[in-house]
Structure 1
Amino acid sequence: MRLYFKYMAIHFKSQMQYRASFWLLTLGQFLVPFTVFAGLYLMFERFGQLQGWGFFEVAMCFGVVHLSFALSEFFARGFDAFSSLVVTGEFDRLLVRPRSAALQVLGSKFDFSRFGRMLQGAAVLAWAVYGSNVEWTAAKAATLALMVAGGAFVFTGIFILGATLSFWTVQGLETVNVFTDGGREMSKYPLTIYEKWVTGLFTFVIPFGLVSYLPLLYILGRPPGGPDALYVLMPLGGALFLLPCLLVWRFGVRRYRSTGS
């Protein structure tokens, strides 16, 4: 971890060489996602509810998902941009160093302007928590924190799977965005509004439902059944999802052949 934080410090110093550009980018990352949130707000202004869900309830789901995505983009940006390392042959250099390839890829890119998007997600989440009628307990607060962390793990796992595909395709595939950007946009709403096969895919295969929708039902006091502890622990499914993604990554590294760049 000491090496990881050194990578982070180096990237931060390099980006702060152009401070005006950095702060403008951060401001843009903070303001631009509000256009999406404005669409959500206007929809509820017009229709009042969404299949029995109120504005602040959906806003809480929105805030969790967007904050999770921003955290993953910040800490795992190296995997999202990994194909460039394969194309240029830079990944060969990483392999001959006496450190984990995954750690070096994580440390290869940090975009500190994403901090603006984190603030935006946190602001929406704080407003939703304040405006909701939830009777907060320590267990519910812990569940909310685990939802954010679990969502970040899920997005990171998808970034890792997309990076692994680059070992065979060289260039990154835009189809991966179906599960990153598409998963983010889909999971900011309750899963019950979608077809059953979509709900099943994004609950049992890519566990967005385990880190957002189902724990949120417990927080709102409307769980479909089962012990409360089960819903508190459900967001840990995001961390479990990360394990097979890392195994697939190791499989890809072992079969990597240099591009010869």
Structure 2
Amino acid sequence: MKLFGKYLLILFKSQMQYRTSFWLMSFGQFFIPFSVFAGLYFMFERFGQIKGWDFYEVALCFGVIHMAFSISECLGRGFDMFSTLVSNGDFDRLLVRPRGTVLQVLGSKFEFTRIGRLLQSLLVLGWAVYGIDVDWTFAKAITLLFMVVSGVFIFTGIFMLVAAMCFWTIQGLEIANIFTDGGREMAQYPLNIYQKWVVRFFTYVIPFGCVNYLPLLYILGKTDGSPLLHMLTPLAGCLFLVPCVLVWRFGVRHYRSTGS
């Protein structure tokens, strides 16, 4: 973690060499999801609810998912840009260093300008928590925190899987954005508004449902089964990272340099 902190400090200093650019990009990142949230707000102004979900309940989903995505995009940007390391042959240098490749790839790139997106999602989340009709307890507050952490693990795991594909494809595949950007857009709504096969896929394969739906039912007091089970479902997001790391290690063992 000390080395990881040094990576963060070095890259932050390098990005702050162009402070005007940094703040302008952060400002832009603040308004990118703002237009999406504005569309969400006006939709509820027109229709009032979506399949039984009111505005503040969906806003809570929106805030959690976008906060998790912004944190993951900042810290996991090295995996998102990993194809350049493979195509340029720079990954060879990482293999001869006395540290794990996961740590080095994480430390190769950080996008601190995502602070704008993080701030916007934090404001939406705060507004939703204030407006939602929930009797908040310590357990529900911890569940909400776990929802964000679980989302960070899931998005980081997806970035890692996409990066692992580069060991065979060299260049990144745009189709992978279906599960990153597409997953973010889909998961900003409660899962039960979609068809059953979508709910099953994003619960048992990519467990977004364990971030924005099942624990949300516990917070809102709408659980049919055990409340404790719904409260613990965000752990599935953390467990999702385990097979992602195994796929990454498999890819590293089968890596062949491009010779660049």
**Paired residue type of 1:246:** V
TM-score (norm 2): 0.99
Asked whether the equivalents of residues 60 and 128 of structure 1 are also in contact (C-alpha less than 8 Å), the reply is: yes
Partner of 1:241: 240
Q: Would you say the 8 A contact 2:26–2:114 is kept in 1?
A: yes
Q: Which position in structure 2 is the counterpart of 1:76? A: 76
How many angstroms does 1:175 deviate by? Answer: 1.0
Tell me how large the CA RMSD over aligned residues is. 0.6
The corresponding residue for 2:158 is: 158
Aligned equivalent of 2:251: 252
Which residue number corresponds to residue 59 of structure 1?
A: 59
Matched AA of 1:141: A
User: Is 1:39–2:44 an aligned residue pair?
Assistant: no
- 2:108 is paired with a residue whose SS is coil
Could you tell me how far apart the structure 2 residues matched to 1:51 and 1:197 are? 17
CA contact (8 A) 2:61 2:188 kept: yes
Q: Which 5+ residue runs of structure 1 have no aligned equivalent? A: none
Alpha-carbon distance between aligned partners in 1 of 2:29 and 2:224, rounded to the nearest angstrom: 37
Counterpart of 1:10, as a letter, is: I
Q: Which amino acid is 1:146 matched to?
A: F
C-alpha separation in 2, matches of 1:111 and 1:70: 9
CA distance in 2, matches of 1:248, 1:35: 36
Amino acid in structure 1 at the alignment position of 2:216: L
User: Once superposed, which parts of structure 1, at least 4 consecutive aligned residues long, lie more than 6 Å away?
Assistant: none
TM superposition score normalised by structure 1: 0.99
TM-superposition CA deviations, 1:106-138 (whole Å, max 9, x none): 000001100111111111000000000110000
Contact 1:69 1:151 in 2 (8 A): yes
Report Cα offsets for 1:13-36 as digits up to 9, x if no partner: 000001111111111111221000
1:161-204 alpha-carbon deviations (Å, 9 max, x no partner): 00000000000011111011111100111111111111100000
Identity of aligned residues (%): 67
Residues in 2 aligned to 1:229 and 1:75: alpha-carbon distance in whole angstroms: 31
What is the distance in 2 between the residues matched to 1:151 and 1:32? 20
How many equivalent pairs are there?
Answer: 260
Tell me which residue corresponds to 1:177: 177
1:30 alignment partner in structure 2? 30
Deviations 1:36-74 (A, max 9, x none): 000000100010100111000000001000000001001
